[in-house]
């Protein structure tokens, strides 16, 4: 049963995508929406069922005797898989009301399901080669969501996304070649699989390749200097696609970085080297730069995209500190940022869907017209700033504690300072939207006609808003599994 689930979880969405595209019976809008919703629910249930069964692995086929393509379920895979399938379900539920005005829904949902399949395959990849195969599939399939509208701007954004992704993947492929060749076993092992004799004899080469590899996979996570695709691609995509691009697909780069650092090389070989220092510097530059660009940008979705550039590098900063507390903070922020940013993008999409307003300077009074939507946006914004008792506070607190406890010269105090400055900037670019939206003043003469979203589009927003509160009040729901993974790696 366990083996069957391990195969079924990543391949079930593929079957659903084929039905969505080829079967005439589901081409009518209501039938297709019902079928896709059921597919997403079943995929989430199957993922949860697999995650309850414990560790397992299955070899799909062998490219050579030393290059097996393996699916494996471990603690890290389960954490990411539940998150990704859950967020895919919520954003998909919102999209049924939103995509009607975008058109080409059959194409959109086909690629939406295929991308979910590639992401779940990436989560449960058991070797570097398997991980790379699913990573590339995910990139190629998700391009269709970026250029969905097929406008000149969308095609340009899709091409930019593809070029950046290919460049990053080629950098990562160097690491796949080198570390697969020099690993003792091909499968992932907590603490690392690198041959220590090779690591000692080729330390400068190994560290150089590792640095290039992490920067390459950091492209998907929006890390400087490979972040340029994100503020271009995310705003141009339909809002439900923007939500998963920012809240979920950026985490694909994160899981690849974790696999390389913690399951192949091992942090003991990297801690204290120039690679750790350089990666911490890049992550902090990205945190500050992303917040500053979001603060200066007035485009609604573009501001949220730059925010993602900053916030995902909170996660990378925690990973690069290479201690247990910081790792726990990073993994908590993977979860909490995904919920917060999905909610922010869906709220922004709802506002644009109903009003056509795409610039934050035009949103005065929107809280009077769409109060439920803006209250959800405000809750997510306050959480992203890091205000207790919402969930964003706890991940940032752990990250700061991990940095202070790391003993890494300079960065043990500089890191928390940069995170604090970024939090203040986050308040500066998110909270004014809510303030201007709710408090218009007595002399405001603009349109205050109600145009709230219908209940089908509001329900996913309420689910995400409730998660922010529940995970903030009971962070142990995620903290327990995260702590178990962190303990196994450290």
What value does the mean pLDDT of the chain take?
91
Tokens of 131: 């991980």
Output the six-digit token pair for 238: 């339909």
pLDDT at residue 253, as a whole number = 93
**Torsion 356-359-362-365 (CA) sign:** positive
pLDDT at 67: 86
| pLDDT band for position 1 (cuts 50, 70, 90) | confident
> Using 50, 70 and 90 to split pLDDT, how confident is the model at 406?
confident
What tens digit of pLDDT does each residue of 158-188 get?
999 999 999 999 999 999 999 999 889 889 9
Q: How many domains is the chain built from?
A: 1
The larger pLDDT score, comparing residue 332 to residue 197, is at: 332
Which whole number is the average pLDDT over 313-342? 94
Q: How far apart are the first and last CA of the chain?
A: 31
> Residue 452's pLDDT is what?
85
Q: Up-side HSE of residue 301: CA atoms within 13 Å toward CB?
A: 29
Q: Is the pLDDT of residue 450 over 90?
A: no
Which H/E stretch holds residue 232? helix 230-236
- Predicted pLDDT of residue 440: 78
Quick one: what percent of the chain has pLDDT higher than 90? 64
Bridge-partner residues for 107, per DSSP? none
Q: Could you give the CA distance from residue 256 to residue 220 in angstroms, rounded to a whole number?
A: 10
**Domain assignment of residue 397, given as a range:** 2-489
Say whether pLDDT at 490 is over 80: no
pLDDT band at 339 (very low <50, low <70, confident <90, very high): very high
Q: Which residue has the higher pLDDT, 402 or 64?
A: 402
Q: Are strands 56-64 and 67-73 parallel, antiparallel or unpaired?
A: antiparallel
Chain-centre distance for alpha carbon 333: 10
Does 18 have pLDDT greater than 90?
yes
User: Is the CB of residue 79 less than 8 Å from the CB of residue 485?
Assistant: yes
Tokens of 210: 């590792």
What confidence score (pLDDT) does residue 49 get?
A: 93
Mean pLDDT in residue range 2-11: 90
Mean pLDDT of 23-52: 90
Count Cβ atoms below 10 Å from residue 293 Cβ, excluding itself: 20
Nearest one of 135, 92, 124, 139 to 8, comparing CA atoms: 124
Find the length of the chain: 490
Q: Which residues neighbour 487 within 8 Å (Cβ) at sequence distance 6 or greater?
A: 324
Where is mean pLDDT largest: 20-29, 146-155, 416-425?
416-425
For residue 101, count CB atoms less than 10 angstroms from its CB and return exposed for 0-12, middle for 13-18, buried for 19 or more.
exposed
Token code pair at residue 4: 């069957």
Number of H helices and E strands in the chain, helices first, is: 20, 2
Q: Kindly state the average pLDDT of the residues 445-472.
A: 88
Report the distance separating Cα 474 and Cα 467, nearest Å. Answer: 10
pLDDT score of 333:
95
Kindly report the number of other CB atoms within 10 A of residue 489's CB atom: 19
Instruction: Look at 63 and 461; give whichever has higher pLDDT.
Output: 461
Confidence of residue 445 (pLDDT cuts 50, 70, 90): low
User: Given a cut of 80, is residue 112 above it in pLDDT?
Assistant: yes
Give the pLDDT confidence of 39-49 residue by residue, as tens digits: 999 999 999 99
Place of tokens 């940095």: 403
71 and 110 Cβ atoms separated by less than 8 Å: no
pLDDT band for position 407 (cuts 50, 70, 90): confident
Task: Evaluate if residue 444 carries a pLDDT over 80.
Answer: no
Tokens of 183: 């690993």
What are the pLDDT digits (tens) for 217-253? 999 998 988 888 888 888 888 889 999 988 899 999 9
- Say how far apart CA 273 and CA 214 lie, in whole Å: 15
Q: Which H or E element spans position 72?
A: strand 67-73
* Pairwise CA distance, residues 107 & 20, whole Å: 9
pLDDT, position 30: 86
Structure confidence at residue 332 (pLDDT): 95
**Mean pLDDT to the nearest integer, 468-480:** 90
- pLDDT value of position 104: 82
Which tens digit of pLDDT belongs to each residue from 255-264?
999 999 999 9
């Amino acid at each position: 049963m366990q083996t069957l689930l391990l195969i079924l979880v990543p391949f079930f969405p593929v079957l659903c995508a084929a039905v969505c595209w080829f079967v005439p019976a589901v081409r009518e809008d209501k039938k297709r929406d019902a079928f896709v919703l059921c597919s997403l629910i079943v995929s989430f249930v199957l993922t949860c069922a697999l995650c309850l069964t414990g560790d397992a692995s299955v070899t799909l086929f062998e490219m050579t005797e030393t290059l097996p393509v393996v699916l494996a379920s471990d603690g890290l895979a389960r954490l990411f898989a539940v998150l990704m399938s859950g967020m895919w379900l919520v954003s998909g539920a919102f999209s049924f009301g939103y995509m009607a005005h975008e058109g080409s829904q059959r194409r959109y949902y086909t690629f939406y399901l295929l991308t979910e399949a590639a992401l779940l395959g990436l989560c449960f990849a058991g070797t570097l080669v398997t991980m790379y195969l699913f990573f590339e599939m995910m990139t190629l399939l998700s391009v269709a969501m970026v250029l969905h509208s097929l406008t000149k701007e969308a095609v340009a954004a899709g091409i930019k996304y593809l070029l950046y992704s290919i460049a990053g993947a080629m950098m990562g492929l160097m690491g796949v070649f080198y570390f697969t060749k020099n690993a003792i076993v091909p499968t992932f092992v907590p603490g690392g699989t690198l041959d220590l004799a090779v690591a000692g004899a080729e330390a400068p080469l190994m560290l150089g390749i590792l640095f290039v590899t992490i920067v390459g996979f950091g492209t998907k996570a929006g890390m400087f200097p490979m972040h340029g695709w994100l503020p271009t691609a995310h705003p141009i995509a339909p809002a439900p696609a923007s939500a998963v691009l920012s809240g979920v697909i950026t985490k694909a780069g994160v899981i690849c970085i974790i696999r390389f650092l913690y399951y192949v090389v091992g942090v003991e070989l990297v801690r204290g080297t120039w690679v750790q220092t350089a990666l911490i510097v890049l992550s902090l530059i990205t945190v500050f730069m992303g917040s500053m660009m979001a603060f200066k940008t007035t485009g609604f979705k573009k501001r949220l995209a730059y925010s993602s550039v900053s916030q995902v590098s909170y996660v990378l900063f925690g990973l690069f500190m290479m201690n247990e507390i910081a790792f726990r903070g990073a993994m908590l922020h993977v979860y909490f940022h995904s919920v917060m940013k999905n909610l922010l993008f869906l709220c922004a999409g709802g506002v644009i869907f109903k009003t056509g307003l795409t610039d934050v300077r035009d949103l005065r009074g929107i809280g009077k017209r769409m109060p439920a939507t803006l209250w959800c946006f405000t809750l997510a914004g306050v959480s992203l700033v890091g205000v207790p008792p919402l969930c964003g506070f706890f991940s940032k607190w752990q990250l700061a504690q991990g940095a202070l406890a790391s003993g890494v010269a300079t960065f043990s105090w500089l890191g928390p300072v940069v995170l604090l400055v970024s939090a203040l900037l986050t308040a500066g670019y998110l909270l004014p939207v809510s303030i201007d939206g709710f408090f218009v003043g007595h002399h405001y003469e603009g349109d205050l006609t109600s145009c709230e979203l219908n209940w089908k589009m509001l329900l996913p927003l309420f689910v995400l808003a409730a998660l922010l509160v529940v995970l903030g009040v009971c962070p142990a729901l995620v903290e327990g599994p995260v702590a178990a993974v962190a303990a196994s790696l450290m």
